[in-house]
Amino acid sequence: MTTVFDPGAEAARATDAILCDTLHGTHRGVVVDSPPGAGKSTLVVRAALELADAGRPLMVIAQTNAQVDDLVLRLAEKNPELPVGRLHSSDADPYDKALDDLPNVRKSAKAGDLAGLDVVISTAAKWAHVKGVEPWRHAIVDEAYQMRSDALLAVAGLFERALFVGDPGQLDPFAIVGSEQWAGLSYDPSASAVTTLLAHNPELPQHRLPVSWRLPASAAPLVSDAFYPFTPFRSGTGHGDRRLTFAVASDGSGPDRVIDEAAESGWGLLELPARHTPRTDPEAIRALAQVVRRLLDRGGAATSERAPDPAPLTADRIAVGTAHRDQAAAVRSALAELGVPEVTVDTANRLQGREYDVTVVLHPLSGRPDATAFHLETGRLCVLASRHRHACIVVCRAGVTDLLDDHPSTEPVQLGVTVKFPDGWEANHAVLSHLSEHRVAWGS
């Protein structure tokens, strides 16, 4: 007998357990692992509201100002009456202007001005400057896997207990200088906050959100297998629930054929001839831009469980992802030349936590003569391959499989460091072998 998987019920069960531990548990910390698009932000907002309802003032620590503003807006949307404090920096334009329209959100650069509010939200960097205040009884740490251990060290004195929420599969935090000296220490300052927290407090309850609401049924199995082999998750929707259609028929070109393949299967690989290129490979950049141009020109429409009618695939629903900033800049100018300025183009680091209908990705290893740890990092590929609700199109030079075979991971193994599975090498192979089933050759 097989039980039918009910994603809604599964997710609700997980959320209830998390909230129970957070509100009534005895441990000082609760850790929640969330795969891409599993409702992490929804959980954070809900936990904040329930803690506030229970009369427990709390602080929320996010990593970027954009994340903080987003959380404030979501909180106000759910409960416009809730008194929220937005602690911000003293720079010019420190927060999203949209916050000015919210009557119950107080904004200040001084923590003292916000004392007594139910929820106070800021970035880890700003919280680190808050000194000499009574510790909060509760904290929520958002994107805790992208927070560095030293950032947690700076703020952990501000709260007694905390809920740590994050996605372990995304990019690890990094340091711009070497930190091998501390590798293997439980409090390695360059490790992620959760790694340090759990090394010192292994008894803390760890939860997992089991359902990705973002990733379509075509993507969840691949992303789960390749990046979360030991903590699998499912998609919240079935194979028929999402559809991507185009009003204009294919003109038979490479971009159009890969768009059709991706619309049909959720994945498309546009393969350019093998070649070693500089990072800003002009041909690959042009191919990316043309795919985006055609996506818009062909009048795409996305049908999903959210609405009965198809939503037009507009520029704000498409994103281009790259590994390096200069690649993103090159794509932006290529798009501008084709008259498409509004599409988001960014690096994996900056696309973390964002969601689009269709993503067009430049493979991090495309055209490279070597495969460095940076380009092999599991999280980078995971971020790029898990931003989409409908389809992901990867543009890549041929020959990456051989490149991988020529460059097995050679990073030194450090004593005391937990080996991260899967390694980037393996994850890259898994993704490539899946993509090869959806391959369209450029220009043939």
Partner 1 sequence: MSLITTLARLEAVDTGRAQPLATVRHRHLSDRPLVFVPLTTAGEAGAPLGALVGTDRDAPRLLVVPQPRDRDLRFAFLAELADVVLPYIDSYAEDVEAAERNETDPETGKRVKVEVELCADAPQLIVPSRAGIDFVRLLGRSMRFRRTAEQDPETPHPAPPRVPLLGRWLTHYGERARVPGSSLLLALTDVLSRHWATGQSSLEDQHLGALLAWIDPPDDESGAEAALRAELQRDAKGQLVCPPAGPATDPAFDNKLLAPAIERYDRARTALAAAEDGIEADDRLGELTAAERQIRDLVASRTRPTWDAVWRGLDLLRALPEGAHATDRWTRDRWSFTGHRDRVLAGEPPQPRRDDAVTAANKLATREREQARLEAQEALDDPLVMAGRRLAGEAFAGEVTDVVMAYSEGKRPSPRPLVTVRTDDRPHLGERAKVYRSLGGKPQAAEFVGYEGNGGNGEEQGGYGEEHGGYQSGGALDDNGALVVLRVVDKMGRGKEPETGSVPEKGDLVCFTLFEHEQRGGAKLPDPEETPWTHGGPPGETEATPQLHAPDAVTEEDVL
Minimum CB–partner distance for residue 88 and partner 1 (Å):
15
Residue 110 interacting with partner 1 (CB under 8 A): no
Rule CB under 8 A: is residue 189 a binding residue for partner 1?
Answer: yes
In this chain, which of 23, 125, 417, 441 binds partner 1, going by CB under 8 A? Answer: 125
Q: What is the DSSP string of 192-235?
A: BHHHHHHHH-TTS-EEE--EESSS-TTTHHHHHHHH-TTS--EE
Q: Is 38 helix (H, G, I), strand (E, B) or coil?
A: coil
**Residue 274 binds partner 1, judged by CB under 8 A:** no
Q: CA torsion, points 9, 11, 17, 18, in degrees to nearest 10?
A: -160
238 binds partner 1 (CB under 8 A): no
Of the two residues 14 and 144, which places its CB atom closer to partner 1 in the complex? 144
- Report how far residue 175's alpha carbon sits from residue 148's, in angstroms, rounded to the nearest whole number: 9
Using CB under 8 A, which of 106, 129, 354, 439 touches partner 1? 129
Q: Choose between 114 and 263: whose C-beta lies nearer to partner 1.
A: 114
Q: Examine residue 182 and tell whether it contacts partner 1 (CB under 8 A).
A: yes
- Taking the least distance from each CB to partner 1, the nearer of 265 and 372 is 372
Q: Please check whether residue 142 is in contact with residue 60, taking contact to mean a CB–CB distance below 8 angstroms.
A: yes
Question: Which residue in 393, 390, 334 sits closest to 363, CA to CA?
Answer: 393
Does the protein bind partner 1 through residue 181 (CB under 8 A)?
Answer: yes
Task: Give the nearest distance from C-beta 189 to partner 1 in angstroms.
Answer: 4
- Interface pattern 190-229 for partner 1 (x via CB under 8 A): x--x--xx-xxx----------------------------
Q: Which stretch binds partner 1 (CB under 8 A): 6-14, 154-162, 248-256, 307-315?
A: 154-162
* Part of the chain binding partner 1 (CB under 8 A), chosen from 17-25, 152-160, 228-236, 417-425: 152-160
Q: How far apart are CA 48 and CA 138, in angstroms?
A: 10
Contact 11, 240 (CB under 8 A): no
Closest contact distance (angstroms) between CB of 203 and partner 1 is: 12
The DSSP output letter for 5 is: P
Of 46 and 286, nearer to partner 1 (C-beta) is 286
Coil, helix or strand at residue 34:
coil
Helix/strand/coil for 30: strand
Q: Report the alpha-carbon distance of residue 41 to residue 56 in Å, rounded.
A: 20
Shortest Cβ distance from residue 250 to partner 1 (Å)?
Answer: 27
CA 326/CA 39 separation, integer angstroms? 32
- To the nearest 10°, report the CA torsion of 351, 424, 419, 14: 50
Please report how close the Cβ of residue 134 comes to partner 1 at its closest, in angstroms. Answer: 15
Question: According to the binding rule CB under 8 A, does residue 251 interact with partner 1?
Answer: no
| Torsion angles phi and psi, residue 176, rounded to 5 | -85, 0
Site string (334-373) toward partner 1, x via CB under 8 A: -xxx---x--------------------------------
CB 429 within 8 A of CB 309: no
- State how far the Cα of 319 lies from the Cα of 94, in Å rounded to an integer: 25
> Where on the chain is the footprint of partner 1 (CB under 8 A)?
28-29, 92, 125, 128-129, 131, 149-150, 152-154, 156-157, 175-179, 181-182, 185-190, 193, 196-197, 199-201, 278, 325-326, 329, 332-333, 335-337, 341, 416
